Amino acid sequence: MDDLDDLYFIYSHPDLSKYLSNEQPLRLDQTRAAINSIIESWQQHKFGVWAVVYKKHRKLIGHCGLKFLENTPEVQIGYLLLKDYWRRGFGTEAAAAVLKYGFDVVKLERIVAIAKPENIASRRVMEKIGMKYEKDAYYYDNDVVYYSLSRQAQQLEALQLKDLGKYEELTLPIPQPLAPVLGGI
């Protein structure tokens, strides 16, 4: 299955494994399990993880989405892109779209995000989409910084988020072959 192979390429990539929750490249069977868990999340909670697709080449370049933060009722935003696509505004574009979906469609009252303190790129994405540092914390066996944004505060940020619409190279709605696998807007 192409979608499985594409996602396996990303989840097993040596550049990216340190950003996955167990910090190990995923095997093919683990990637399949990850896809099943994404599908389950969409079915149960009406939110989950999207494929991030580079429109120009219709290439799967990463993921971005919402899931429950470990052992909490909080919903966290997460993102990961292939290294070739870093620093082109795509992480921010994807995260801004997911955040908007979380507030406008899922009607969440609050969205949080965590990162290792030294992960400057991830922290910048959080800041650029309007999230604010709240505290240091410990999740997924790691010391992390914890950011959050309430629906109310997000409404105040809305004008700034609108500016992020200038990027048009990505698509979050999932192309047809992937739709049954990952779900989508």
Ligand X SMILES: CC(C)(COP(=O)(O)OP(=O)(O)OC[C@H]1O[C@@H](n2cnc3c(N)ncnc32)[C@H](O)[C@@H]1OP(=O)(O)O)[C@@H](O)C(=O)NCCC(=O)NCCS
Nearest 10 degrees: Cα torsion 45, 38, 22, 134: -40
Which of positions 5-34 make contact with ligand X (CB under 6 A)?
19
Strands 132-139 and 110-115: unpaired
Give the side-chain half-sphere CA count within 13 A for 178: 27
In this complex, which beta carbon is closest to ligand X, that of residue 112 or of residue 182? 112
In this complex, which beta carbon is closest to ligand X, that of residue 22 or of residue 43? 22
In this complex, which beta carbon is closest to ligand X, that of residue 125 or of residue 174? 125
**Of these, 25, 42, 74, 86, which contacts ligand X (CB under 6 A)?**
86
> How many amino acids of this chain bind ligand X (CB under 6 A)?
19
Shortest Å, Cβ 113 to ligand X:
7
Which of positions 117-146 make contact with ligand X (CB under 6 A)?
119-122, 124-125, 128
Say whether residue 89 binds ligand X (CB under 6 A): yes
Site residues (vs ligand X, CB under 6 A)? 19, 79-81, 86-92, 115, 119-122, 124-125, 128
